[in-house]
Structure 1
């Protein structure tokens, strides 16, 4: 077994194990709040708190199952699309969480308090375990997903950009780039589309900047792949950047769009996001569409590359075989 494959297998087990504390903490919150022994989070009613944490428990279960599918024999037998989609969405979530968690840990250390230490409803040890779960899952998937793809589809990332014919730039690249520019504009302090500037904090700036950067990266990679230039550039780094960037666009906005719609419709008095609800909903819906279309473009571009490099045998080939 190659060294890379061994590292990927160990990383998959590590990712599954890292997410267990997060799932157990979320279960304890749901059970404790229903039993009346743990408080409900600030700004939430009982039903909202239970539904939100139940959803995150389900997401954690899917993450653990995904990590095990990347290493266990049965993961090679299940259909490819569910594994690819789950890995794509999971990578999209974690690519922004990882830098954010590191930033939060550094800021907590500088401030002299641990993660969650300022929140009386979350002890510091719980906040630390939650951050470690995300960090472990993210780092584990970063190694386990490429190793799994290499085992199941050995030629998935081979070749160079010039192997595929040039095609027109898809609308998704333009749409995703526009969304990324707006997010970076906000991260740099822009106020157009911001309803409550005073509500912007360091966490909001970091997440907005990360989302905008990945959106622009995905748009640039999608354009590069469809133009098949520069021809000598290996396809692997371009596909990886496009995979991560499009996943970030889709995953985060697929989660934030319903939340923004709820805020716009219900106007809860204890929830005051910095963005104007209409602007936030519009951007997130555009990001979901752009991310999904970019993934489709990446997959189709890869298929065209194989078709271009390996054309079907013609009559001359058959004649040569008969001779």
Structure 2
């Protein structure tokens, strides 16, 4: 039986997904709803945007499936690797929007009196509100469901703070996470310029860049704190998870969703380092904790369940 929190979280997921998916289906069917210019219509029907719309619809439906699985008894029998992969993708894509864009939009409105960003000339303002508001609701709903699921299935993993991985992992993971962190914060504070992700000049967008960089930094640092993190084990795990997934997914997003489909060489290079580095660091920390539990319990099977 669902708890009150799960019901509310599922409602948030539905409210986030339904309008967004409906809009994308309408666009694929040839509708021009929400478009303000002929150039916007032409771009919408380009191969790049058609493929992008199909992929994003599939991702939204996958998010709904994940939300349902997180609330059902059979969901706890889904292989751990599948859950981790889906949850990592959702976190890395949605957390910067939920946290960064919310704060950034408020900051931009206070400073400039407008929420205008690059690309709004072709779309009605309500489209941005629907899309990114939907992402925020989806992210919030999945965060609540995911946290309750993890506590129910893997409370033992989170009972102790993440530990420092092997030295070589710390170094290689640090190259990816710290490079991404430095670049993102730099682009956010100083502006993307000619090297960063194009079309992210607005305060709201630059806030997302800064937050993404800070999360990546926290994801690398948290397992290194040792005893300092032991008193806040859950927080240390959350920061590690947020940092690694954000660096992995946002670095790739900057390439795949580059302005006019043309990422800068610097963005591509950083993604090529950040993706494997963040994945290596996060998985090594997680596997180390699972191995510790297996050793304590004398049962590798139970540790992986």
TM-score, normalisation: structure 2: 0.79
Instruction: Please say if 1:29 is aligned against 2:27.
Output: yes
CA distance in 1, matches of 2:235, 2:256: 32
**Residue number in structure 2 paired with 1:181:** 182
Aligned residues: 292
**Residue number in structure 2 paired with 1:94:** 94
Bigger Cα displacement from structure 2, 152-161 vs 194-203: 194-203
Is the Cα contact below 8 Å between 2:188 and 2:210 reproduced in 1? yes
CA displacement, residues 114-147 of structure 1 (integer Å, 9 cap, x when unaligned):
889x946533443332233112111112211010
Relative to structure 1, is the Cα distance of residues 105 and 130 closer, same or farther in structure 2, using a 3 angstrom cutoff? farther
Relative to structure 1, is the Cα distance of residues 14 and 111 closer, same or farther in structure 2, using a 3 angstrom cutoff? same
Unaligned runs of 5+ in 1: 264-269, 313-323
**Residue number in structure 2 paired with 1:315:** none
Counting only pairs closer than 5 Å after superposition, residues 133-212 of structure 1 correspond to structure 2 as 133-160=134-161, 167-168=166-167, 170=169, 171-189=172-190, 194=195, 200-212=201-213
Is the Cα contact below 8 Å between 2:175 and 2:274 reproduced in 1? no
**Residue number in structure 2 paired with 1:289:** 276
DSSP-derived class of the 2:227 partner: coil
**Residue number in structure 1 paired with 2:303:** none
**Residue number in structure 1 paired with 2:234:** 236
Bigger Cα displacement from structure 2, 100-109 vs 285-294: 100-109
**Residue number in structure 2 paired with 1:55:** 55
**Residue number in structure 1 paired with 2:10:** 12
Bigger Cα displacement from structure 2, 90-99 vs 122-131: 122-131
Superposition deviation, residue 245 in structure 1: 0.9
The structure that has the greater radius of gyration is 1
Is the Cα contact below 8 Å between 1:257 and 1:281 reproduced in 2? yes
DSSP-derived class of the 2:160 partner: coil
Counting only pairs closer than 5 Å after superposition, residues 119-134 of structure 1 correspond to structure 2 as 119=120, 121-134=122-135
**Residue number in structure 2 paired with 1:253:** 251
Is the Cα contact below 8 Å between 2:195 and 2:265 reproduced in 1? no
